[in-house]
Amino acid sequence: MTIRTKLCDMLGIEYPIIQGGMAWVATAELAAAVSEAGGLGVIGAGNAPPDVVRSEVRKAKSLTSKPFGVNVYFMSPYAAEVIEVLIEEKVPVVTTGAGNPGKYVPRMKEAGMKVLSLVASVNLAKRLERAGVDALVAEGMECGGHIGDIATMPLVPQIVDAVDIPVVAAGGFFDGRGLVAALALGAAGIQMGTRFICAAECTVHENYKQAVIRARDRDTVITGRTTGHPVRVLDNKLAREFLALEAKGASAAELEALGVGRLRAAVVDGDVDYGSLMAGQVAAMVQKVEPAREIIRHIMETAEETLARLEGIRRG
């Protein structure tokens, strides 16, 4: 027995699990490993220039013949050029984040791509459905990185009720209990980032993986609330300095200066003190590094156990 949803048919994947397209973190190696394991691997284009994205896409193609995606980060100065590269390279799936992809949707659809857009509000979900995207990823504030202000539990059913296209739930997912909960809320699958940071195939610095593994339930904090760009990260020296500056009423420019290059420092250099260790609240549940295939297998196995347990509490 297995759990299949309309998301699997739409994307040509085996299991309704999408790997978050995390900037710097989600390289071709991780994306290909997740796709090979039956989920949808996603390369995070972040702020990378188009030639770098093209070479990552080609690397992923050399590592898997299964569908994979690329996340386009709309605050990147290269977003428009990256989209052209993805069209030229015939990337089957694009996920969009941190901005409104509306005006690019027709071009991506004409190229035969599936477009999934990350949203953190009902209003944007409705607008993007009208713009013609294929599915939405409803991202609750439990997730890592840039976040909205609504938690996954209230956000997902509100978006499910507001649109007619498939909705994927994101933020707070770790195992099959979460997958079944997402399906119960009306979602067609889940997107997970944090757990995949600790996939064996993920190329982030080992220090970053160990910081996620060490994290306990209250170890993420939200910086940047005063700038209007809240970001969930693991608590460290950088986060404390950032929060202290915010408490003193520092300007957005001053705070931005502190943040420049910090994600790269965490991912590439393994700077766990002054790097930006973006991670979601489920960091506390991640306890080991394991292959992407094991992560997917564990989610699907625990989802089956959860369904069986739920069946057991039905009374006639």
Which residues are near ligand TUI by CB under 6 A?
A: 23, 46-47, 73, 97-100, 118-120, 124, 139, 145-146, 148, 263, 278
Stated as kind and residue range, the H or E segment containing 123 is: helix 122-131
If the CB atoms of residues 17 and 118 are measured against ligand TUI, the closer one turns out to be 118
User: Least distance from C-beta 217 to ligand TUI, angstroms?
Assistant: 21
If the CB atoms of residues 100 and 207 are measured against ligand TUI, the closer one turns out to be 100
Q: Which of 51, 54, 48 is nearest to 23 (CA)?
A: 48
Residue 197 burial by Cβ neighbours in a 10 Å radius (0-12, 13-18, 19+): buried
User: Least distance from C-beta 98 to ligand TUI, angstroms?
Assistant: 4
Residue 82 vs residues 22, 93, 260, 276: alpha-carbon distances, Å: 16, 13, 22, 24
Residue nearest to ligand TUI (CB): 145
If the CB atoms of residues 55 and 287 are measured against ligand TUI, the closer one turns out to be 55
If the CB atoms of residues 16 and 145 are measured against ligand TUI, the closer one turns out to be 145
- Alpha carbons 30 and 203: distance in angstroms, whole number: 7
DSSP 175: S
For residues 122-161, one letter each, b for 16 or more C-beta atoms within 10 angstroms of the residue's C-beta and e for the rest, the string is: bebbeebbebebbbbbbbbbbbbbbbbebebeebbbbbbe
If the CB atoms of residues 16 and 140 are measured against ligand TUI, the closer one turns out to be 140
* Centroid of chain to Cα 271: 22
User: Least distance from C-beta 19 to ligand TUI, angstroms?
Assistant: 14
User: Least distance from C-beta 313 to ligand TUI, angstroms?
Assistant: 35
Q: Which of 41, 38, 44, 50 is nearest to 26 (CA)?
A: 44
User: Least distance from C-beta 100 to ligand TUI, angstroms?
Assistant: 3
If the CB atoms of residues 118 and 277 are measured against ligand TUI, the closer one turns out to be 118
User: Least distance from C-beta 143 to ligand TUI, angstroms?
Assistant: 7
